[in-house]
Amino acid sequence: MQRRDFLHLSGLATLGTFASGCGLQKTNEVPEKKDANLKTQRKRAEKKRVVIVGGGFGGMNTATSIKQNDPENRIEVVLIEKNTHYFTCPMSNTLLSGSKQFQKDDFLFYYWDVQKKYDIEVLHAEVIAIDRESQSVETLRENIEYDYLVLAPGIEYDYKTEFSHWDEAKIRRASLEAPGGLISDGGVEHANLLAQLEEFKDAGGEGEIVIIPQRTKIYKNLQESVEYKSLVRCAPASYERACMIGDWIKRNGLEGKAKVVLLDSASAPQAKAPAFLQTFSDLYKDVIEYVGGFDLIDVDFDTKEILFRDMDDDLEYFIAKRKYSVLNLIPLQKASSLIEMAGLKTNSWGGALLAKQKLYSMSDNRVYVIGDSAVFEKGYYKDKPKKRGGVPAAAQTAYNLGKEAGYMIAQRILEGKDLPLGKFAAGCFSMVQVDPSKLGISINKKFSYNKKGEMLISEEVEQVNKKYYHTIAGEGIVDWFGGVTGDTFAKF
């Protein structure tokens, strides 16, 4: 793959086919009235209104694509986002490398440019209820009626399923002292992790920095652990993070004193396994230790100990403990609770089930779901027909499908056409070394549909000279990131 292919994959190469954005114009004139609590009620009006919840990759690209495909500005778009700025998770692990090339500000984006370039209203408020019957969304500031609703609210952590015996105080402690680092909220979790690494270094830098990837089974009792399939936002993220902290250890001269330990419930990395195992052994031999089949029971945040189930020589289970210095506990994940709140049909982790070959919910064709909260019917791998797979929860997916959704919604409103989903791509890139050269791993997935409406998947893992990690991917990730964020937040 060439560097320019990253931009093709991101869909940037097709941008010229969309109509250009329109300047700021007066929005839909709607009768407004206040209720007894002085909350504004925005009624539906003649101009069709699309309300989008979530200003991440999914929501933003749906919003801008509607406008790009509505040259006469006949559709009103209101995007509701609870934060005033967005911290991008892709590439955010590079912050933990401690390299001066990657600073927190590089990952922060604001909504001003999009509002300037397109006639999109961005309302900073938290959505607290959705009423599909009255087609209305409730925020703390006002209630807004919609003709079409797009839900792109991302994910939430699910500590309760994983640690049913933890109370709220312990969950708060886990999020502060062992943050998952998977949610974008202003970059707080990443800042906490980096601060802990710095404290660890100042205290001598001796010990284990433990990463526990999202687990694939839940401890029940000493005799059994049960399989559990949760939503996984960017499955390679924990292994990429191990590499970035490995890079940090080397940069700070802590080899031999500090190491990264991955305690994984699976028997091999849960994404790009051959690629990460090759990377660990080639680039981080004594710096990253991979432990598979790890059965986590609990964490004692006072003594900094991890409790887990182990087996002795007589094949008897027993409870063991392992000390840590810094802990990144990646909890189970679930779809945003807004999906359940909207009363849509969901799967086991609360993701919205989509109608066949569509981007709207099975339960309501006026409600589109984009990004990590959406669930597609499983597809077949072209080269392995018995293997089935889904669409990855990734920014690249949210970006590309946001663009598709915007086009489909505009076509539906302006032309009365309810188009099916065609081909789309989703890539997944991981940075594994920052200095002296940028090395990365890339996987490209392509999705299409056959005549029966079944999804077909093809997957390609890039290798150069039999190595899964290479500078083409390393440099390509940086280009890709600049391209998708620049386009999403109207930077060019």
**Of positions 11, 21, 98, 154, contacts ligand FAD by CB under 6 A:** 154
- Chain residues 307-346 in contact with ligand FAD, contact rule CB under 6 A: 336, 338
- Is 372 among the residues that bind ligand FAD (CB under 6 A)? yes
The span of 5-13, 254-262, 278-286, 391-399 binding ligand FAD (CB under 6 A) equals 391-399
* Minimum distance, C-beta of residue 91 to ligand FAD, in the bound complex (Å): 6
Angle, CA 350 vertex, CA 349 and CA 353 arms, to 5°: 110
Listed residue (206, 217, 269, 205) closest to 243, CA to CA: 269
Q: Which is nearer to ligand FAD, 243 or 362 (CB)?
A: 243
Which residue type occupies 314? D
**Of positions 9, 12, 52, 53, contacts ligand FAD by CB under 6 A:** 53
Residue with tokens 């991302």: 154
* Minimum distance, C-beta of residue 3 to ligand FAD, in the bound complex (Å): 16
Neighbours of 198 (CB within 10 A): 13
Site string for ligand FAD, 116-135 (x = CB under 6 A): ----------xx--------
**Of positions 5, 12, 50, 59, contacts ligand FAD by CB under 6 A:** 59
What length does the chain have? 492
Do the Cβ atoms of 448 and 456 come closer than 8 Å?
A: yes
Whole-number Cα distances in Å, 144 to 64, 75, 86, 405: 20, 15, 23, 21
Phi, psi of 363 (to 5 degrees): -90, -20
The span of 77-85, 143-151, 168-176, 343-351 binding ligand FAD (CB under 6 A) equals 77-85
* Minimum distance, C-beta of residue 317 to ligand FAD, in the bound complex (Å): 33
Q: Residue 154 gets which letter from DSSP?
A: -
Peptide bond connecting 436 to the previous residue in cis, omega within 30 degrees of 0: yes
**Of positions 11, 21, 58, 187, contacts ligand FAD by CB under 6 A:** 58
Q: Which is nearer to ligand FAD, 207 or 352 (CB)?
A: 352
- Is 83 among the residues that bind ligand FAD (CB under 6 A)? yes
Listed residue (199, 211, 215) closest to 284, CA to CA: 211
Q: Which is nearer to ligand FAD, 111 or 219 (CB)?
A: 111
* Minimum distance, C-beta of residue 59 to ligand FAD, in the bound complex (Å): 6
The span of 204-212, 263-271, 290-298, 389-397 binding ligand FAD (CB under 6 A) equals 389-397
Measure the CA–CA gap between 403 and 438, rounded to whole angstroms: 30
Residue with tokens 């009626």: 145
Angle, CA 442 vertex, CA 427 and CA 63 arms, to 5°: 25
Q: Which is nearer to ligand FAD, 295 or 432 (CB)?
A: 432
* Minimum distance, C-beta of residue 53 to ligand FAD, in the bound complex (Å): 5
- Is 55 among the residues that bind ligand FAD (CB under 6 A)? yes
Do the Cβ atoms of 349 and 373 come closer than 8 Å?
A: no
* Minimum distance, C-beta of residue 418 to ligand FAD, in the bound complex (Å): 23
Measure the CA–CA gap between 2 and 9, rounded to whole angstroms: 11
Q: Using CB atoms within 10 Å of the CB of residue 101, give its burial: 0 to 12 exposed, 13 to 18 middle, 19+ buried.
A: exposed
Measure the CA–CA gap between 391 and 376, rounded to whole angstroms: 7
**Of positions 10, 196, 396, 488, contacts ligand FAD by CB under 6 A:** 396
Report residue 433 CA to chain centroid gap. 21
Do the Cβ atoms of 39 and 65 come closer than 8 Å?
A: no
* Minimum distance, C-beta of residue 46 to ligand FAD, in the bound complex (Å): 27
Q: Which is nearer to ligand FAD, 58 or 474 (CB)?
A: 58
- Is 93 among the residues that bind ligand FAD (CB under 6 A)? yes
Q: Which is nearer to ligand FAD, 152 or 344 (CB)?
A: 152
Q: Which is nearer to ligand FAD, 22 or 188 (CB)?
A: 188
Residue with tokens 């749906």: 62
**Of positions 82, 322, 356, 467, contacts ligand FAD by CB under 6 A:** 82
Q: How is residue 366 written in tokens?
A: 């006026």
Do the Cβ atoms of 411 and 417 come closer than 8 Å?
A: yes
Measure the CA–CA gap between 383 and 423, rounded to whole angstroms: 17
- Is 395 among the residues that bind ligand FAD (CB under 6 A)? yes
- Is 393 among the residues that bind ligand FAD (CB under 6 A)? yes
Angle, CA 160 vertex, CA 159 and CA 164 arms, to 5°: 120
Measure the CA–CA gap between 176 and 160, rounded to whole angstroms: 16
Do the Cβ atoms of 218 and 228 come closer than 8 Å?
A: yes
Helices (H), 79-148: 112-117
**Of positions 12, 80, 258, 362, contacts ligand FAD by CB under 6 A:** 80
The span of 18-26, 224-232, 258-266, 394-402 binding ligand FAD (CB under 6 A) equals 394-402
- Chain residues 411-440 in contact with ligand FAD, contact rule CB under 6 A: 428-429
The span of 8-16, 30-38, 54-62, 97-105 binding ligand FAD (CB under 6 A) equals 54-62
- Is 54 among the residues that bind ligand FAD (CB under 6 A)? yes
- Is 237 among the residues that bind ligand FAD (CB under 6 A)? yes
* Positions in the binding site for ligand FAD (CB under 6 A): 53-59, 80-83, 86, 89-90, 92-93, 126-127, 152-154, 182, 184, 233-234, 237, 336, 338, 371-372, 393-396, 398, 428-429
